[in-house]
Amino acid sequence: MTIVITLAYLLAAVLFILGLKQLSSPKGARNGNFTAAAGMVIAIGATIPQLRFTGAGIAIIGIGVVIGATVGTVGARMVKMTAIPQMVALFNGVGGGAAALVAVSELLHFGRNPAFAEAFPSVFSIVIGSVSFAGSAVAFAKLQELMTGTPITYPGQQLVNAVLAAAILGFAIAVLAVASVPFSFVSLMLLALVLGVAFVLPIGGADMPVVISLLNAFTGLAVAATGFTLNNFALIVAGTLVGASGSLLTKLMSDAMGRSLTNTLFGAFGQLKAGAAGATGVPGRQVRAGTPEDLATLLAYSRRVIIVPGYGLAVAQAQHAVRELAELLEKRGVEVTYAIHPVAGRMPGHMNVLLAEANVPYEQLKEMDEINDEFKDADVALVVGANDVVNPAARSSPGSPIYGMPILNADRAKNIVFMKRSMRPGFAGIDNELLYDPKTIMFFGDAKDSLTKLVNAVKAA
C-alpha cells in the first residue's frame, strides 16, 4: 500500500512539473493548468487511504471541502477580469493561512519538547504562512481600493519592522529551545501577521503584482516546510516547486517593470520626503481641456495616431469603442497603431487579450520596444485610461517612485490627447508632468463615454 501511495505522489509531482512547463508557453498554457489540477486530484486521492478518520474528522473535511470549493468557484467565476490580480492575492493568502494552521496543529500535537527536525519546519511555516496571509490581505485591500494604493510610510517605520522581526526571532527560539507551548507559538503567529501587514503597507499599488508573486513563493515554501513536519513527499515537492519558480517569476516580473526587486519592496523608505512633495499635485496649475469636436478634428486630419491603452480602458470596458474609433480614422486614411506597455492593465498580457477580443487586428498591437521610436513621428498620442506608463518622471526624476520604469514615449508625439476620469494621480500615486505639457489636451470622463462622443464627432467631422 505504501508503495502505491508513494508512486501516486510521484505521479502527482511529475504532473505538477509538466503542468508548470506547459504553463510557461502560450500554446499549452491552458492544458498545463489541467495537468496540474490532475496532479492535485491524484495527490489528494492518495492521501485519504493513509489516514484513520474520526467521525468528527470526516464531518469537518466534508463540510470544509464543500464550503471551500463553493467560495473558490464562485469567487473565481464572478470576479471581473480587471480584478483578477487581487483575487489571486486572496487565494494565495488563504493557502498561507492554511499552512500556518496546519503547523500550529502539529505543534499542539508534538507536546512541550518536540524534536528540532519536526519543530523547526513548523515554526518556519507558521511565520512565513502568516506573513503571506496578512500580506496578501493588504495587497487585496490596496488593489480593491479598500485602502489607499499609495505607499504608507511613517517615521521610525524601519525601526518598528526591525523590532517586530526581532520579537519573531525571539519567540521562534523560545518555541524551539525552551518550551513549545501554545502561548509562544500563537504569539509567533500573531506577530508574523502584523509583520505581513507592515511589510506590504509601504509598497505602492502599482507594485502589487510583484508583491503577490513574492508572497506566492512564500506560501510555497511554507507548504514545503509543512511537508517536512508531516514527512509528506507531495507537500515537499509541490511546495518547493512553487517556492522556486515563484521566486524566479517575482524577479522576472520586477525586471519587466525595469526595477530591481529590492527597489520594488523597499523603495518607498528612501522617498519619504520626495514622495510627499510630488504626490500632492500642484494647486493652481492649468491644464488644457478640449471638446470632442476639437479632438475629432485633430484626430481626423492626422497622418499617424498611436493609441496608448491603459487600465482605465479595461475598467470602462471601452475596448470595442476604441476599435470603432480606430476603424473610423483608418477609413479616413489615418494610420493607427496601439502601443502596449508590458504592464498595461496591471496584468502583463491583459491588454493584448482585451483588444484581441474586441477584434483589433493583432498587427496593430505594438510592444513598447518596437514602437517607442515611432512616437516622435506621430501626430497624436491618444492616451486612454493610462497614466504611470507615460509619466516622464520615470525618465527624469530620480526621486520618483517610478524612476527607472521603462515608459512609452508618448511625450515625444506632436500632440498628446489624455482621456482620463479626473486629475487624480495614477496607480503609483504620483503626479504626471505630462498632463501639464503645453502639447497636451485633456478630455475628462469615463473612457467609454468619451470614446463614444469622439466617435460621433469624428463621424461628423
Partner 1 sequence: MSPELLNEFTFFVLAVFVGIEVISKVPTILHTPLMSGTNAIHGIILVGAIFIAAGASSPLSIALGLVAVILATTNVVGGFVVTDRMLEMFKGRQAPRNP
**Among the listed residues 52, 22, 24, the one whose alpha carbon sits nearest the alpha carbon of residue 38:** 22
CA distance 124 to 243: 14
Kindly identify the residues of this chain, within the stretch 118-147, that bind partner 1 according to CB under 8 A.
none
Query: Is position 452 an interface residue for partner 1 (rule: CB under 8 A)?
Result: no
For partner 1, the closer of residues 169 and 252 by Cβ is: 252
Determine the residue type at 184. S
Count of residues interacting with partner 1 (CB under 8 A): 111
Query: Is position 397 an interface residue for partner 1 (rule: CB under 8 A)?
Result: no
| Least distance to partner 1, CB of residue 20, Å | 5
| Least distance to partner 1, CB of residue 296, Å | 25
The answer to whether the beta carbons of residues 152 and 198 sit under 8 Å apart is: no
| Least distance to partner 1, CB of residue 202, Å | 22
Query: Is position 4 an interface residue for partner 1 (rule: CB under 8 A)?
Result: no
Exactly one of 1, 2, 3, 54 binds partner 1 (CB under 8 A); which one? 54
Can you say whether the dihedral through the CA atoms of 62, 65, 71, 73 is positive or negative?
negative
For residue 225, how far is the Cα from the chain centroid?
25
Exactly one of 243, 275, 406, 425 binds partner 1 (CB under 8 A); which one? 243
Exactly one of 193, 208, 236, 455 binds partner 1 (CB under 8 A); which one? 236
Each residue of 222-251: b (16+ CB within 10 Å) or e? bbbbbbbbbebbbbbbbbbbbbebbbebbb
Query: Is position 2 an interface residue for partner 1 (rule: CB under 8 A)?
Result: no
- Residues in CB range of 181: below 8 A, 6 or more apart: 112
Q: Which range, of 165-173, 276-284, 354-362, 387-395, touches partner 1 by CB under 8 A?
A: 354-362
- HSE, side-chain direction, 13 A CA sphere, residue 83: 15
- Which triple of cell numbers denotes residue 99? 499552512
| Least distance to partner 1, CB of residue 231, Å | 6
| Least distance to partner 1, CB of residue 273, Å | 33
Kindly identify the residues of this chain, within the stretch 10-29, that bind partner 1 according to CB under 8 A.
16-17, 19-21, 23-26, 29
Kindly identify the residues of this chain, within the stretch 175-204, that bind partner 1 according to CB under 8 A.
none
| Least distance to partner 1, CB of residue 292, Å | 27
- H helices of 201-334, where? 208-230, 233-256, 261-270, 272-279, 292-300, 311-315, 319-331
Query: Is position 37 an interface residue for partner 1 (rule: CB under 8 A)?
Result: yes
Query: Is position 224 an interface residue for partner 1 (rule: CB under 8 A)?
Result: yes
For partner 1, the closer of residues 221 and 442 by Cβ is: 221
CA distances from 35 to 47, 69, 221 (A): 19, 19, 22
- Catalytic-labelled residue, pool 388, 411, 431, 446: 388
DSSP-assigned beta bridge partners for residue 309? 384
- The contact mask relative to partner 1 for 254-283 (x = CB under 8 A, - = no) is --x---------------------------
CA distance 308 to 285: 25
Q: Is 388 a catalytic residue?
A: yes
- Residues in CB range of 446: below 8 A, 6 or more apart: 316, 421
Residues belonging to the active site: 388
